[in-house]
Amino acid sequence: MEFTARQIAEILDGEITGDPNARVSGLSKIEEGETHTLSFLANPKYAPHLYSTRASIVIVSKEFEPERSVPETCTLIRVENAYESFAKLLELYNHMLHAKTGIHEKSHIEATASVGADVLVSAGVYIGENVQIGKGTKIYPNVTVGDNVRIGEGCILFPGVVIYHDCVIGDHCTLHAGVVIGSDGFGFAPNQNNQFNKVAQIGNVIIADHVEIGAGTTIDRATLGSTRIHKGVKLDNLIQVAHNVEIGENTVIAAQAGIAGSTKIGNNCMIGGQVGIVGHLKIGNRVKIAAQSGIASDLPDDAIVQGSPAFAVGDYKRSYVMFRKLPELQQQIRELEEQIATLKKDLPT
């Protein structure tokens, strides 16, 4: 789809410097700009690329003043905030990418399922008994939706997503490729012969509105009750969320983190990549956990921790400075030992 500079300026309430009829049909980074693409300049570090870019339209902030001539083939659109305006266009472009609707003939929807208006159901999709799917939801190829699942409005399920029976997905959620929702929790009990018998996992997973879950992430169903992901949570790729875990509103977790069973994480937390959290803990609100940390005890509100086992980030940094000096300190100790040994020899017996 093509847009003119005039149309883009109207969307962004921007001012045009250059050709209002300049046309673009794609997006690009300013340093890799090509003809008929749209780019933006928000970071002054990238300003030199503006004077050689081949992009047809570049969004800049109103206060930006070029140091030299911009290529004649480049039209500028001046806005209040270049980054926010470009993000707005990206969201519009993303919405257009998912505008397709309809039910593919090679999908299978059980007769008792309910599918809302303007839904996309792609080839290879299976939708089970008594499933409810809200209007505007997009389901891409080879997705499996188990019996009694409820999916809200405006969701996107990318290829290969699997949602087990009885789980609930809120409105405007995005599940990337390979996400598994509602697989069994890791529940086994040893018997008298030291063999492990499976404990039935009969709960479910409840995901609230505006949650995004990265590719390959798995969220286990509860043993009893529900594993809960609250509103606005953002999970990166390859995260393991175990049974009966609860993650509070607007918490973000980076890739390869693992959260063991029944741990409760508060609101507005930031958890780095490869963090491991043991089970049955309570993590407070607004907690920040640095990457690769190991959490083995409860954390209060506003804690900032690092390390394995983790402790206060300021103490960790001071300890790390000392740790890096250990070889030097060891050498000093050896020299002191040698000096003491020499002094002992010189002492009268």
Complete DSSP assignment for 44-110: GGGGGGGGT---SEEEEETT---SSPPPTT-EEEEES-HHHHHHHHHHHHHHHHT---EE-TT-EE-
* Residues whose CB falls within 8 Å of the CB of residue 92, separated by 6 or more in sequence, listed in order: 11
Are both 66 and 172 inside the same structural domain?
no
**Which of 34, 62, 97 delimits the end of a domain?**
97
- At 214 the pLDDT is 98
- The ranges of the chain with pLDDT < 50 are none
* Per-residue model confidence (pLDDT) at position 349: 65
Pairing of strands 23-24, 3-4: antiparallel
Q: Which domain holds residue 226?
A: 102-314
The three-class DSSP label of residue 1 is coil
Report pTM. Answer: 0.83
Q: Is 172 a catalytic residue?
A: no
Same domain, 82 and 157: no
Same domain, 113 and 91: no
Domain stops at, among 49, 82, 97:
97
Residues 31 and 49 in one domain: yes
Cis preceding linkage at 141, omega within 30: no
Q: Report the domain count for the chain.
A: 3
Give the integer Cα–Cα distance in Å for 280 and 316. Answer: 24
Residues 71 and 190 in one domain: no
For residue 190, what is the domain's CATH number?
2.160.10.10
Same domain, 66 and 147: no
User: What one-character DSSP code corresponds to residue 342?
Assistant: H
**C-beta neighbour count of 84 within 10 angstroms:** 14
Question: Which entry of 95, 230, 243, 280 is annotated as an active-site residue?
Answer: 243
83 and 164 in a single domain? The answer is: no
Which residues are CB-contacts of 251 (< 8 A; sequence separation ≥ 6)? 230, 233, 234, 265, 266, 267, 268, 269, 270, 271
**Distance between CA atoms of 144 and 157, rounded to whole angstroms?**
10
pLDDT at 223: 96
Q: What is the pLDDT of residue 81?
A: 95
Strands ordered across the beta sheet of 132-133: 114-115, 132-133, 150-151, 168-169, 204-207, 226-229, 246-247, 264-265, 282-283
Residues 87 and 125 in one domain: no
Domain end position, chosen among 57, 78, 97: 97
Q: Are residues 171 and 280 in the same domain?
A: yes
Predicted pLDDT of residue 346: 75
CATH number of the structural domain spanning residue 49: 3.40.1390.10
Q: Are residues 254 and 118 in the same domain?
A: yes
The rounded distance, in Å, linking the Cα atoms of 91 and 87 is 6
Please give the pLDDT value at position 163: 98
- Asked if residue 303 and residue 164 are part of one domain, the reply reads yes
Q: Does 308 lie in the same domain as 325? A: no
Give burial (CB, 10 Å; 0-12/13-18/19+) of 240: middle
